[in-house]
């Protein structure tokens, strides 16, 4: 019963899509009608500017943190945090109020993973960031991050690992078209190192 309640709490909070909230309240725009059409951090940043992407990410992290804190204090047990994470991903990716069309859950899944096991979470997250810089891609690294974290967790805590694998599968489904674009050479490249150099005022040859 506790696991089910954790999923419900997570799903409710997952329904708060901050891309939609920021888009409609601050920008008077619908992020699902512009750019990639995805109500998430990457699309908000690409279309409206980095600060709006960052604000969206902060909002998604905040809702995740609140849901996890509620579950932590009302439904004790690490496994309930994992199920809350599953609920958060389901709510974020398939919000009932938006015809089950939501974001891809990168920020949400990252915080859930780091909350559950901060050491493994940070190590796999670092690997994903390095991959992002090398591959100049925002599709594959998040999936590698979740897959590595899930497999590591599976070895140490079977039930939690299985739930994290389900979360990974949900993300694969949401990223499916982007995955196809990547392997067919149509994926959009994002040079994070170049952007960082420009931001720091470093001359680019």
Q: Is residue 9 part of a domain?
A: yes
**Max intra-chain CA distance, the chain:** 60
Tokens of 52: 């709006």
Q: Does residue 204 sit within a domain? A: no
How many other C-beta atoms can be found within 10 angstroms of the C-beta atom of residue 164? 27
User: How confident is the model at residue 71, as a pLDDT?
Assistant: 98
Whether the CB-CB separation of 26 and 52 falls below 8 Å is answered with: yes
Give the pLDDT of the chain (205 residues) as one tens digit per residue: 999 999 999 999 999 999 999 999 999 999 999 988 889 898 998 899 889 999 999 999 999 999 999 999 999 899 999 999 999 999 999 999 888 989 999 999 999 999 999 999 999 999 999 999 888 888 999 999 999 999 999 999 999 999 999 999 999 999 999 999 988 988 777 765 455 445 545 555 5
Distance separating alpha carbons of residues 106 and 131, to the nearest angstrom: 15
Is 205 among the domain residues?
Answer: no
pLDDT of residue 152: 98
Report the C-alpha gap between 32 and 19 in whole angstroms.
9
Number of domains within the chain: 1
CA gap 95, 18 in Å, rounded: 12
Instruction: Please state, in angstroms and rounded to a whole number, the distance separating the CA atoms of residues 59 and 41.
Output: 10
Assess if residue 11 is contained within a domain.
yes
Give me the pLDDT at residue 200, please: 46
Does a structural domain hold residue 95?
yes
In a domain, 47, yes or no: yes
Long-range contacts of 184-191 (CB under 8 A, 24+ apart): 187/137, 187/139, 188/138, 189/136, 189/137, 190/132, 190/136, 190/137, 190/138, 191/136
Range of the domain at 9: 2-199
pTM of the model: 0.90
Tokens of 85: 């994470």
Domain membership of residue 31 (yes or no) is yes
* CB atoms closer than 10 angstroms to residue 194: 13
Q: What is the DSSP string of 140-179?
A: HHHHHHHHHHHHHHHHH-HHHHHHHHHHHHHHHHHHHHHH
Give me the pLDDT at residue 144, please. Answer: 96
Length of the chain (residues): 205
């Amino acid at each position: 019963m506790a696991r089910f309640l954790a999923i419900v709490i997570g799903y409710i909070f997952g329904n708060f899509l901050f891309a939609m909230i920021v888009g409609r309240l601050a920008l008077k725009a619908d992020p699902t009608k512009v750019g990639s059409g995805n109500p998430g951090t990457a699309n908000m940043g690409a279309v409206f500017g980095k600060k709006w992407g960052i604000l969206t990410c902060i909002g998604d992290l905040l809702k995740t943190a609140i849901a996890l804190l509620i579950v932590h204090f009302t439904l004790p047990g690490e496994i309930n945090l994992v199920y809350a994470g599953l609920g958060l991903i389901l709510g974020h990716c398939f919000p009932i109020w938006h015809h089950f069309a939501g974001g891809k859950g990168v920020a949400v899944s990252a915080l859930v993973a780091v909350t559950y096991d901060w050491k493994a979470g940070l190590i796999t997250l670092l690997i994903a960031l390095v991959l992002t810089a090398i591959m100049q891609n925002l599709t594959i690294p998040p999936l590698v991050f979740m897959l590595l974290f899930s497999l590591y967790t599976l070895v140490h805590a079977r039930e939690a690992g299985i739930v994290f694998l389900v979360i990974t599968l949900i993300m694969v489904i949401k990223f499916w078209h982007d995955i196809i674009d990547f392997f067919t050479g149509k994926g959009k490249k994002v040079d994070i190192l170049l952007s960082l150099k420009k931001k720091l005022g470093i001359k680019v040859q």
